[in-house]
Amino acid sequence: MTQQKDISTRAWIEMILLGCIWGASFFSIRIALNEVPVVTSVLHRTFWAMLVLWAVVIVMRLPLPRDPRIWLGFLVMGLLNNVIPFGLMAWAQLHVETGLTSILNAATAIFGVIVAALVFADERMTARKAIGVGLGFFGVATTIGLESFRAFDLRSIAQLGIIAGTVSYAVASAWARLKLGGLAPQVAAAGMLTGSSLIMLPAALIIDGPVRFDLMPGTWAAIGYYSIIATAGAYLLYYRVLAMAGSGNLMLVTLLIPPIAILLGAAFLDEALHPSAFLGLALLALGLVILDGRVMRHLIDRRRKAH
């Protein structure tokens, strides 16, 4: 069994920064959606982030993949990790609160464990993982609320759309491990966003029409934030924290995102979430802590030392 890395002070600071960046992305996306159609908003996100990351690749003089199968992998990865979840969640934000979107987005880690257990022999479902996943599902159900399933409306469909986006993220993670291993993360991220943009450009032109550039300054600021900072910059920061803290510790970022999104939604969008959303978030957090495993190992170690 591999040991989790200890989290240094620097790693904690950068992890909190990453959580804040991603938490604010939900707010900026909602601001842009006041003027920009959903599909075009996703195109902005992938295209500008793609340009920034290819600039980073060029500056770092990283080797480019030559195998056509890798470029096909980028296309599939872009579909699974950007096009589907970005599109579903942006559309959902037209019908549900920013904070609620961020809470349901936290289910990504739950579905990631399930997909990994189905695909990889070294990621089998243990009793601890099953308990964590079960609590996570209960948290999602609590957040959505049983009344949403009884009165099945556009809001209910939007919430299920967010969940579908988290499943797509989980499948993308497995696909990356299977098909894109060995690449520099900056190249993998730039290639993925290239695949996304190749899909989103014709989709935006067909669904939304020509891309408008005569937007309000606030809309451009929102687009700049969620594409340059919360996508390109966040990918680079993500890989830094991953190298310092490890994947298990990095899962804690999931718990840092919703509070930021909830606070911004309440402060600037006058959003007020139902108490069940906070209860659902608490259950999701408990599920993630159990999946992480360190708290349980700490309690077991203390009990052993006591005896």
pLDDT for residue 10 is more than 90: no
Joined together, the tokens standing for residue 31 give 């601001």
| Any domain includes 87 | yes
Query: How much is the average pLDDT of 235-264?
Result: 84
Instruction: Report yes or no on 3 lying in a domain.
Output: no
> What pLDDT is attached to residue 3?
47
Between CA 179 and CA 225 the distance in angstroms is: 30
Alpha helices in 61-126 (DSSP H): 68-78, 84-92, 98-105, 108-119
Q: Which residues of 244-269 are buried (b: 16+ CB within 10 A; e: fewer)?
A: bbbeebbbbbbbbbbbbbbbbbeeee
Residue 106 inside a domain? The answer is yes
Q: How far is Cα 183 from Cα 167, in angstroms, rounded to an integer?
A: 24
pLDDT tens-digit readout, 78-137: 999 999 999 999 999 999 999 999 999 999 989 988 998 999 988 889 888 899 999 999
Instruction: Report which of residues 102 and 11 the model is more confident about.
Output: 102
In a domain, 174, yes or no: yes
Boundaries of domain holding 126:
9-306
What pLDDT is stored for residue 2 in this prediction?
42
In the structure, what pLDDT confidence band is assigned to residue 8 with cuts at 50, 70 and 90?
confident
Does residue 259 sit within a domain?
yes
Task: Please indicate, yes or no, if residue 1 is contained in any of the structural domains.
Answer: no
What is the total count of domains within the chain? 1
User: Is the residue at 2 inside a domain?
Assistant: no
**Cα 222–chain centre separation:** 18
Residue 275 sits at the vertex; the CA angle it makes with 269 and 281, to the nearest 5 degrees, is 90
159-168 residue pLDDT tens: 999 999 999 9
Kindly state whether residue 231 falls inside one of the protein's structural domains. Answer: yes
Q: Is the dihedral of CA 178, 181, 185, 190 positive or negative?
A: negative
Q: Is 242 exposed, middle or buried (0-12, 13-18, 19+ CB in 10 A)?
A: middle
